[in-house]
Amino acid sequence: MQLTFSLATLSDAPFIESLLMAGARKGQFNSRLLSHRDRVRKDVQSMIAQQRLLDSPLYAEAMICKVGQERAGFSIMCGVTDFPNGIEIYALGVHKAFRGQGLGSKLLDELLYHWLARRDIYAQCLAASEQMFQMLLHRHFEFLFTLPGGARVLHCQQLPHRARA
């Protein structure tokens, strides 16, 4: 399986939006996305075109993972207001045709390789995202606390840059 990772382009936006909506329907992403589809579309386009969410000065980027020439997954990383040296794994999704092949793990490992040398990484996992929660714990994320809505907040401290294993 030949994997490639690259910054998303505007042609990737519908793919990202569809996986965000599918994840929101399953409770893996905030269900409010379902009632704000137009805002989600504009935010995804803004992340790609301007590397920020609408109405926010914080950095944001979307990455696409392809198997061969086919889009297979995506990630969204966003700046964290309360932690200037932090970045959050805002969303990570794999198309259903590619699940069960370790692609989510590979995408997560790519993010960590790219970001941990430069920033602390944070993540929030809803109850329906137990698989992601366990993947993060396995990669040395520390569980910090649970938010009132049930999202579990995790943190991984910035590490010195090192070669891939």
Rg (CA), the chain: 15
pLDDT score recorded for residue 84: 78
pLDDT score recorded for residue 159: 67
Contacts of 19 (CB under 8 A, 6+ apart): 73, 74, 93, 94, 95
pLDDT tens-digit map of 34-90: 899 999 999 999 999 999 988 888 899 999 999 999 999 999 999 988 887 899 999
Ramachandran area for residue 150 (φ above 0: left; ψ -120 to 50: alpha; else beta): left
Give me the sheet containing 142-146, strands edge to edge.
3-7, 60-67, 70-79, 86-94, 120-125, 152-156, 142-146
Residue ranges per domain, the chain? 3-156
Q: Which CATH number fits domain 3-156: 3.40.630.30, 3.65.10.10, 3.40.630.10, 3.40.50.720?
A: 3.40.630.30
Token output for 159:
């590490």
pLDDT score recorded for residue 85: 84
Strands 60-67 and 3-7, by their bridges, are: antiparallel
Please name which of 33, 28, 30 lies closest in space to residue 43, comparing C-alpha atoms.
Answer: 33
Tokens 């990383």 correspond to what residue?
77
Per-residue pLDDT at 165 exceeds 50: no
- pTM recorded for the entire structure: 0.89
**Mapping DSSP to helix (H, G, I), strand (E, B) and coil, where does residue 63 land?**
strand
More confident residue, 45 or 31: 45
- Strand blocks (E) in 8-141: 60-67, 70-79, 86-94, 120-125
HSE-up (13 A, CA, CB side) for residue 14: 1
pLDDT tens-digit map of 138-163: 999 999 999 998 999 999 987 655 44
pLDDT score recorded for residue 81: 83
pLDDT score recorded for residue 163: 46
pLDDT score recorded for residue 160: 55
